[in-house]
Structure 1
Amino acid sequence: MPDIRIIHYEDNRELREGLAFLIQATPGLELVGSFANCQRIGEEVRALRPDIALMDIDLPGISGIEAVPLVKAAAPAAQVLMLTVFDDDDKIFRAIRHGASGYLLKHTAPGEIMAALVDLHRGGSPMTASIARRVLRHFQAPAAPAEDYRLSPRELDIVKGLVAGYSYKLIASDLFISIETVRSHIRSIYEKLHVNSKTEAVLKAMREGLV
């Protein structure tokens, strides 16, 4: 299988260079770009075609959170993994709402960061344990009555697959449909649930008791 293409945004030079070395030294990963800011992120993502953008939040000019939708606009299939010191609810949920698929704190062990990149590419949503706990607490809080999102039976089947952690390929195989059909349903699910990422769709489905 081809290497997972990584683009990295981090303004701390020492950390940026350290992670660049680790990514390049990890079998199955390829660093296609490493930048100190997001000023030209749309152009860079379109040119370099990454599978994953590894993103700090506190960047000069355009913040990492503001940059997430720019990545998705330039490369809709690309995933975004936040790597930051911030563990407050506002930034966590803003990042997820903007389309981030994972959220790690910078004290995460280097090997775990590399493993998270692989996990993300395989369909996972890696999070530092304390972040995952915050997310779960938020979605376990008493909820208002769920809206009728008018998901079709097939869309509900796909949401169940996402909640179970299945990849698009596995969902397609399980439901005897093509991956492109899965992608088409996913777009409709995002629109109906008013979300922008798989992680947000899964969390909302769990929060609203849809599956």
Structure 2
Amino acid sequence: MLVDDHALFRSGLAALLSSQDEMEVVAQADNGLDAVKLAEEVMPDLILMDINMPGSDGLEATRIIKDRMPYVKIVMLTASDENDLLFEAVKAGAQGYLLKHLDPEQFLAELSAQLRGEASISGDVAIKIIRAFSAHDVERQQTQLTARELEVLKLVGEGFSNRDIASRLYISENTVKNHLRNILQKLHFENRVQAAAYAIRRGLVEPH
């Protein structure tokens, strides 16, 4: 499902996605309010959501949709990764974000990574997430992760995909996914982005 108030960009993106065999655009909206209504009607697997829109913006729509349909993945669309609202969107449960100026091949590659749960974040957004969650670090540090889960968490923080983590640790991708699911549950995180930021906060990796 696509949500963007610029009709030309939205139609171009719809055409790009529809050209991919594994993707289908099931609905489109040009504002956050309609996005919420349509999401409840079509129940999409993924929503590409513009963060800045007149009226009800993408951030508010993300909060409402994630509250009502937590299983729906939401990826924000933005012209710049310095947008302060990106931090709020990720905190609200967004899977990550994609830059609008990416060329088609790179956009599709990064979108595929998002669908696999392999989101990446810039240093600025990561630092903001780290600071936001730092108040809960004491509680989280008391949560015991296994040695293997810590290894997986470190590699997630370094930006490796599930496939790369599996290769490095000589385990299957399904095992990596199981470890990541356990990590998110134990640390009370919504998604991989928050876990990666936490890994940086704990000093497992350096922010980049």
TM range (shorter): 0.7 to 0.9
What secondary structure is seen at the aligned counterpart in 2 of 1:120? helix
Q: Secondary structure at the match of 2:119?
A: coil
Query: In the comparison of the two structures, how many residue pairs are matched?
Result: 189
Q: CA deviation at 1:115?
A: 1.9
| Alignment pair present for 1:103 and 2:97 | yes
Name the counterpart of 2:162.
Answer: 166
Q: TM-score, normalised by structure 1?
A: 0.72
- Equivalent residues in 2 for 1:34-45, closer than 5 Å: 34-45=28-39
Match in the other structure for 1:85: 79
Paired residue for 1:124?
A: 118
Calculate percent identity across the aligned residue pairs: 28
**Aligned CA distance change for structure 1 residues 40 and 184 (closer, same or farther; 3 Å):** farther
Choose the corresponding residue for 2:193, options 177, 191, 199.
199
Give matches, 1:20-99, under 5 Å: 20-88=14-82, 90-99=84-93
C-alpha RMSD of the superposition: 3.3
> Which amino acid counterpart does residue 200 of structure 1 have in structure 2?
Q
Corresponding position of 1:134: 124
Alignment of 1:170-189 (within 5 A): 173=175, 183=181, 186-189=184-187
Aligned partner of 2:138 in structure 1 is 147
TM-score calculated relative to the size of structure 2: 0.73
Structure 1 residue ranges without an equivalent (≥5): 1-6
3-state SS of paired residue (2:77)? strand
Write the letter of the residue equivalent to 2:203.
Answer: G
Structure 2, unaligned runs of 5 or more: 167-171
**Structure 1 residue 134, shift from structure 2 partner:** 3.2
> Aligned equivalents of 1:116 and 1:185: distance in 2?
23
CA distance in 2, matches of 1:66, 1:35: 14
Give the superposition deviation at 1:89. Answer: 5.3
